[in-house]
Every structure is written in structure tokens, then in C-alpha cells.
Amino acid sequence: MAESAGLEHGLEHGAEQTVQEYIQHHLSYLTFGRHPDGHWGFAHTIEEAKEMGFMALHVDVMAWSLLLGGGALLFFRYIGRKATADVPNGVQNFVESIFEFVDSRVQEGFDHKNPTIAPLALTIFVWILLMNTMDLVPVDWLPGVAAWFGVFVGQEHMSFKVVPTTDPNVTLGMSFSVFILIIYYSIKNKGVGGFLSELAFHPFGKWMLPFNLLIEIPTLLAKPISLGLRLFGNLYAGELLFLVIAGLLGLYQLPFHFIWAVFHILVVPLQAFVFMMLTIVYLNAAHDSPQH
């Protein structure tokens, strides 16, 4: 819900930014990496960020991811230490409702015994929910503060993303972490032979092994990719529309931002829920006994 005039704060050398430049700037990252000449530092332009290559670090989204995740851990720890069975306060009831909600989803979707699944599901849901919620912060507020700070550190055109889940590196990092758990529990519960037999002999039996592999291997690899890209795509589209409204309408953006924000409030928790439920379903399948 951007409430400030997007183009007003985007003056570069006395010239007003175009809508395209405004959106491009807000979609860029505060990137740290190795420059072509060998020295390490922050990228000052999008071109410099691209030249840093794959090993460049998006400092802004990583910092917000760790800040939100660490803040959630400290908050839950504080509530846990203050929890009482006598007359719980409203905050304790709220936290317990989240625990009960996630625990119910695990009981419904996970048919085996594994004490790791419920904490994992809770972590995924809360962490993604908090990161998604940053999309409701006015689009110019925090980047504006960063731009003001950048003037004092020689980074006049500092980019600053505040929604970690609009970075595919974050969403795919989480989804491939889940994928590693899928492989680990599949081999742990079924053995290497059982895991490979599911890929080789399902769904048409051992006489159709080449066709089974053509179906099962892409299906397996598609899980982390679809899991990460679904979350990224929905949040990126939401952020982009906020920026388009801010860039085109300036001071008159508020009514349109409010309408989109009301709809987007549904997307924020829904995407966290979908990621959590698919994780539960995938890990439940990894615990199932071999069918062949």
C-alpha cells in the first residue's frame, strides 16, 4: 500500500524518473559481490550487479529474511517462557491458535510418526507469512529510508528490496531445502533400492522402465521448482502491481492501492499455507512404504 508519491522521491541528478525507471529501481537488489576488476563491494547499477555473476549476495532480502525469522523465534520463545495454564492472555491465545492450526494440518496430511514435521511446518508457515506480509508495507517507505541513508555512504542510487519472497533465490532456496528432506526421508524409510524402484517401476511396472523414468524423474524434479516459483510468482506479481499503481498515479494512488491491498491480504497467508501443505504432502509421500 504505497502512500507516498513514487516519482517525487526518485530524482536523479535533478531529473525526474520515468515510470519504467522507478519500477526497475524498486525491483533491483542491494547486491554485494566481486567486481570484474577483482575488488569486492556493492553494485551501484543494475549492470554492475549482473557482472558480479551467480555468487553475488542480495544483502537486503537476506537481511530481512534473517530479521523476520529471528524475530519470530525470539517472540515465540518469549511467549513460551511467559505462558501460563491459569488465565492465558490474548497474545498467548493467539500464538496457541497458530500452533493448533498447524498441528491440525499436520495430523490431517501426515500419516506417519516424525517429530520433525510439525516444527518444520510451523517454521515454514510463520516465516513465509512474515516475509509475504512485507509486501503490504508502502512501497516507498523503507526504500526511501535506504536511499536517504545511501547518500551518506556514497550509494546515491541504493536499491533496497524488503519482500524476501519476491526474490527467486529465497523461494527456490526454501523449496530445494524441502527437496533435500524429501530425498533424505525417502532413502531413510525405503532404502536406496526402494527409492530407485519407485522411479524405475512406477507407474507401469518393470517392463516399461524407460517410460517410467521419463515420467517419474521430471515429476520429482518439478516439485521444488514449482514449489518455489509458485510462491515467487504470486508475490512478485503483487509487488509489481503496487509499483505500477504508484508510478502511474503518484499522489492519487491511495484508493487503488487500498483496493489491491484488500485483495492481496488474501494472497499473503494463502501462499504461506500452500507452501506448508505441499511440504507436508511431499514428506508424507517420502515416508510411505514402497508399493512394489
72-122, pLDDT tens digit by residue? 999 999 999 988 877 788 899 999 999 999 999 999 999 999 999 999 999
Asked, for residue 65, whether it belongs to a domain, the answer is: yes
In a domain, residue 269? The reply is yes
Residue 5 lies in a domain: no
pTM of the model: 0.90
Nearest CA among 131, 194, 67, 156 for reference residue 202? 194
Amino acid letter at 217?
I
CA distances from 216 to 181, 194, 223, 243 (A): 18, 14, 11, 40
pLDDT for res 289:
79
| Ramachandran region, residue 84 (left: φ > 0; alpha: ψ -120 to 50; beta: rest) | beta
Helix runs in 27-167, H state only: 46-51, 59-82, 90-109, 117-133, 141-152
Residue 77 catalytic? Answer: no
3 domain-assigned: no
Q: Decide if 2 is inside a domain.
A: no
114, 226, 284, 289: the catalytic one is 226
In the chain, the number of structural domains is 1
Question: pLDDT digits over 137-194, tens only?
Answer: 888 889 888 888 887 776 767 889 999 999 999 999 999 999 999 999 999 999 999 9
The one catalytic residue in 34, 177, 230, 284 is 230
Burial class, 243, CB count within 10 angstroms (exposed 0-12 / middle 13-18 / buried 19+): buried
| Given the residues 189, 234, 284, 289, the one annotated as active site | 234
> Which residues span the domain enclosing 261?
11-287
- 200 domain-assigned: yes
Clarify whether 230 is annotated catalytic: yes
Give the C-alpha separation, 66 to 160, whole Å.
15
